[in-house]
Amino acid sequence: MSPASDPAIPHPRETMALFGHAEAEATLLSAYRSGRVPHAWLIGGESGIGKATLAYRFARFVLAHPDPKSPAVQNATSFDLPADHPTARRIAGRAHSDLLVLERIVNEKTGKLFTETRVEQVRESVSFFGSTAGEGGWRVAIVDPIEDLNRTGINALLKVLEEPPQRALLLLGTDAPGRVLPTIRSRCRALLLRPLPEDEVAQAVATALGEAKITDEIRAAAAASGGSVRRALMLLEDDALELRQQMLALLARLPDLDPRALHALGDEIAGTDIEPLAAFMDTVNSWLGDRLRTEPQRPDRLARIADVWASVNAAGRDTEAYNLDRKPFVFSVFGKLADAARA
């Protein structure tokens, strides 16, 4: 789930602090400082660990300091920028003419997010990069994440990647780097982010919530987050921690299924509230991610799990967007997970 789908989670464009990933930020800063920065970066890693936050930090810094040889850039040790800096304020307010963000947007007819990034948005990037930067510096596009683009959108993005203009940056986020098309990967510099240590997750959550100290609840959420700040924030919503424990018990029994327990789980996430469905999807994706990391490196086995990941997430987006009955969705998802565990 995108942070845009949950108003309780601060959007990366509004997040000034970055916890962890100092090495990745140093890599970006060094490349920019050299004056030979690659035009496209593929920033990969699990959902909610800071990929988009890092991309926005890079974009703010570049748009605020468009000359890589300036003292401000050459002497910088990070992408830190004051929250009241004009560039930071304009990006937070979605008002910077030289930053284009491609992400799922709200369908005005339904009030819900579209199931994918609209191809019209991607085509906008062609004219965006084909024009002169409004402020005479760089033009930056953030794609968050690339998985939300359909085939037509990918083809439109490839046109920009194949013929990048001068002083252009494309920052592509991905939760599944291995599933990104080779035609995209080959045109990008890869930057892989690791899940955060538990104490850094707790610090990031406390900062996001404006807490002066780390509470027991925050520590519990951080311990169950798997290194994801977004997951920890979601777990603090209502009864999300209890829902996660309920799901983990069912996941531990796979490939065996307990229909009565699945009925109860379907009742738990029924309705139209986004938080229970988001917590359900996040726990499922965490389980699948663990399988991808720990399973023997057999291509057929990994491909099977990756296919289940894609199918489940597509169904989750449809369930959210079209307000579908969630109980059949729960049974369908666990059926796919059982097949993946059994294969």
pLDDT digits (tens, 9 = 90+) for 297-321: 677 777 888 889 889 998 998 898 8
Q: Are residues 60 and 179 in the same domain?
A: yes
CATH number at residue 33: 3.40.50.300
How high is the pLDDT of residue 132? 66
Beta bridge partners of 43: 173, 191
In a domain, 53, yes or no: yes
In a domain, 263, yes or no: yes
Q: Are residues 149 and 259 in the same domain?
A: no
Q: Are residues 186 and 245 in the same domain?
A: no
Q: Are residues 148 and 274 in the same domain?
A: no
Three-class SS string for 70-90? Answer: CHHHHCCCCCCCCCCCHHHHH
| Chain centre distance of CA 196 | 14
In a domain, 104, yes or no: yes
pTM, two decimal places: 0.76
In a domain, 197, yes or no: no
Total domain count, the chain:
2
Q: Are residues 179 and 42 in the same domain?
A: yes
| Chain centre distance of CA 277 | 17
How high is the pLDDT of residue 73? 96
User: Contact at 8 Å (CB) between 99 and 128?
Assistant: no
Q: What's the domain range around 314? A: 237-342
Residues 6+ apart with CB under 8 A from 69: 35
Query: If you average pLDDT over residues 325-336, what whole number do you get?
Result: 96
| Residue owning tokens 């789908």 | 5
Could you give the CA distance from residue 164 to residue 159 in angstroms, rounded to a whole number? 8
User: Contact at 8 Å (CB) between 26 and 104?
Assistant: no
How high is the pLDDT of residue 27? 97
Q: Are residues 106 and 184 in the same domain?
A: yes
- Looking at 127, 159, 192, the residue that finishes a domain is 192
Q: In a 3-state reduction of DSSP, which class is residue 142? A: strand
pLDDT band at 343, cuts 50/70/90?
Answer: low
Q: Are residues 97 and 150 in the same domain?
A: yes
How high does pLDDT run on average in the chain? 87
In a domain, 225, yes or no: no
- Residue 198's Cβ-count burial label (10 Å; 0-12, 13-18, 19+) is middle
Could you give the CA distance from residue 139 to residue 63 in angstroms, rounded to a whole number? 8
Q: Are residues 40 and 185 in the same domain?
A: yes
pLDDT at 237 over 80: no
- Looking at 139, 164, 192, the residue that finishes a domain is 192
Cα dihedral sign, 307-313-319-325: positive
Query: If you average pLDDT over residues 319-326, what whole number do you get?
Result: 88
What would the pLDDT profile of 72-102 be if each residue is shown by its tens digit? 999 999 999 999 999 999 999 999 999 999 8
In a domain, 223, yes or no: no
DSSP 231-258: HHHHHTSTTHHHHHHHHHHHHHTTTS--
What would the pLDDT profile of 124-156 be if each residue is shown by its tens digit? 776 787 766 666 689 999 998 888 888 888 888
Q: Are residues 60 and 137 in the same domain?
A: yes
How high is the pLDDT of residue 7? 45
Q: Are residues 11 and 78 in the same domain?
A: yes
Tokens encoding 102: 């491609």
Sheet containing 139-143, strands listed edge to edge, beginning at the edge strand earlier in sequence: 99-102, 139-143, 168-174, 40-44, 189-192
- Looking at 167, 192, 217, the residue that finishes a domain is 192
User: Of all helices (H) and strands (E), which one includes residue 190?
Assistant: strand 189-192
Task: Tally the C-alpha atoms within 13 A of residue 263's C-alpha that lie toward its C-beta.
Answer: 3
In a domain, 199, yes or no: no
Query: If you average pLDDT over residues 315-329, what whole number do you get?
Result: 90
